[in-house]
Amino acid sequence: MTLEVSISHSFGSFKIDADFITGCGVTTIFGPSGAGKSTIVNAIAGLLRPQKGRISQDGEIMFDSSREIMVRPSKRRIGYVFQDGRLFPHLSVAGNIRFGVRFSTGSRSSVEEGDIAEILGLSGLMNRRPGTLSGGEKQRVALARALLSNPRLLLMDEPLASLDESRKDDILPYIERLRDVSKVPIVYVSHSMAEVSRLADHLVVLKMGKVVASDTAQSVLSDPEAMPYVGVREAGAIVLARVLEHERDGLTRLRFSGGDLLLPGVGVSPGLPVRVRILAKDIILSLAEPTGLSSNNILPVTVESVHRGDGPGVAVQVRAGRDSLLSRLTARAASEMQIAPGMSCYAILNATAVPRVSISAARPT
């Protein structure tokens, strides 16, 4: 799958100029409120006609201003999960999720209604009305409804934004399971780095209507240059690891290309892949191999690049095996240690700094 988006659109003095190409899996569009994220997904869905540009999926043009092509939303086969759910109030849950089935065309979907209802935990809710559902249940119904219309692309515009913090963590695993089962490419809009870090395969970062970064999530999130856009407190690399074993003291041993990590226990069986988000502020660097330290996570690394921002901090990208990590130091520490690309040092990670939600089941490879 290839989705090509190249559009420009302005609202008064605010101009959106978005240009990116993405593929299978989950593409997240990240940016602060007002960066133009919803405009872009609405243009992909066909609910908004950009002033200029071109949108195509696998070579099939959905919008091209120069050729006056504008395929109607009902003909695009693009599922849309809205921030506010938008369930039909006069239909039951079953009526809602079956709504799009009668219009679905193309090859039969690989997932059936029963499977989707099962995965999303909707089996017991089928006869309920949307008005009686909780926020999280509503979003799960909206997700099932969009998927059952047999889309070739699924758009999700801040689907968790209207939910409580605790509910968000409940829904993310559902989305992860669907991503793995349905194989439908997903474009996921969010202003939450936590969601992006868990879900993104490809990451598009928007700022003031412009694309400032677009690459695999792993490279963008470990790129010190992108740190200002991500936010210094939220910045952190993601590494793909495998669960080695659950230790007796409640910690879980993970192995990734750069070595082993001992982190808080997670409910993923040994042998299965996990994705770990390691915040830049939780990694400190040491020139010599530290001894007598309270941390068990000490990794030999090589400095790849150093990015000095406007503030007192410095972002350092270090390589551990085939993975990259990001560390944030004070500029003073960096200059005292004479941190420079190519030098070897040790990265230290405090296990308790990594919350359980930062460790999630990854797509099986």
Partner 1 sequence: MNLQPEEWAALMLSIKVSTWAMTASLPLAILVAWILARGNFVGKWMLSAFVHMPLVLPPVVTGYLLLLVFGRTGIIGGWLEQIGIVLAFRWTGAALAAAIMGFPLMVRAIQLAIEAVDPKLEEAAETLGADPAWRFMLITLPLIAPGILAGAVLGFAKAIGEFGATITFVANIPGETQTLPSAIYAFLQIPGGESGALRLVLLSIFVALGAVLISEWLSRLVAARIGRR
Residues at the interface with partner 1 (CB under 8 A): 45-47, 72-80, 82, 84, 86, 88-92, 99-100, 103-105, 129-131, 145-146, 149
Place of tokens 């872009």: 40
Least gap, CB of 9 to partner 1 (angstroms): 18
Which of residues 53 and 130 has its CB atom nearest to partner 1 in the complex? Answer: 130
Q: Could you give the CA distance from residue 128 to residue 121 in angstroms, rounded to a whole number?
A: 13
Q: Which amino acid type is present at position 39?
A: T
Q: Is 75 exposed, middle or buried (0-12, 13-18, 19+ CB in 10 A)?
A: exposed
Nearer to partner 1, 87 or 354 (CB): 87
CB of 130 to partner 1, least distance (A): 8
Which burial class, exposed, middle or buried, applies to 220 when counting CB atoms under 10 A from its CB (0-12, 13-18, 19+)? Answer: buried
Q: How far is the CB of 139 from partner 1 (least distance, A)?
A: 13
Residue type, 229: Y
Q: In the complex, what is the shortest distance from the CB of residue 33 to partner 1, in angstroms, rounded to a whole number?
A: 19
- For partner 1, which is the closer residue by CB, 178 or 205? 178
154 vs 254 by CB, closer to partner 1: 154
Q: How far apart are CA 304 and CA 327, in angstroms?
A: 11
Q: How far is the CB of 136 from partner 1 (least distance, A)?
A: 18
E strand or H helix that includes residue 101: none
Q: Which long-range contacts (CB under 8 A, 24 or more apart) does 99-108 make?
A: 99/145, 99/149, 100/145, 100/146, 100/148, 100/149, 100/150, 101/148, 101/149, 101/150, 103/74, 103/149, 104/77, 104/148, 104/149, 104/150, 105/77, 105/150, 106/77, 106/150, 106/152, 108/150
Our CB check for partner 1 shows the closer of 92 and 296 to be 92
Nearest approach, Cβ of residue 47 and partner 1 (Å): 6
Distance CA 140, CA 163 (A): 12
10 Å CB burial of residue 312 (0-12, 13-18, 19+) is exposed
Q: Which is nearer to partner 1, 91 or 298 (CB)?
A: 91
Token pair 């039951």: residue: 92
Q: What is the DSSP string of 301-327?
A: EEEEEEEE-SSSEEEEEEEETTEEEEE
Q: Which is nearer to partner 1, 92 or 216 (CB)?
A: 92
Least separation in angstroms between CB 358 and partner 1: 33
SS3 for 261? strand
**Closer residue to partner 1, CB minimum distance, 182 or 324:** 182
Identify which of residues 150 and 197 has a Cβ nearer to partner 1 in the complex.
150
Q: Which residues pair with 185 in a beta bridge?
A: none
- Indicate the residue among 44 and 345 with the shorter CB distance to partner 1: 44
Please, what is the minimum distance in Å from the beta carbon of residue 15 to partner 1?
24
Q: How far is the CB of 99 from partner 1 (least distance, A)?
A: 5
Smallest gap, in angstroms, from Cβ of residue 186 to partner 1?
A: 14
Q: Alpha-carbon distance 229 to 315, whole Å?
A: 13
For residue 304, give every residue at least 6 positions away whose Cβ sits within 8 Å of its Cβ, in sequence order, or none.
317, 318, 319, 324, 341
Is 151 within 8 Å of 182 (Cβ atoms)?
no
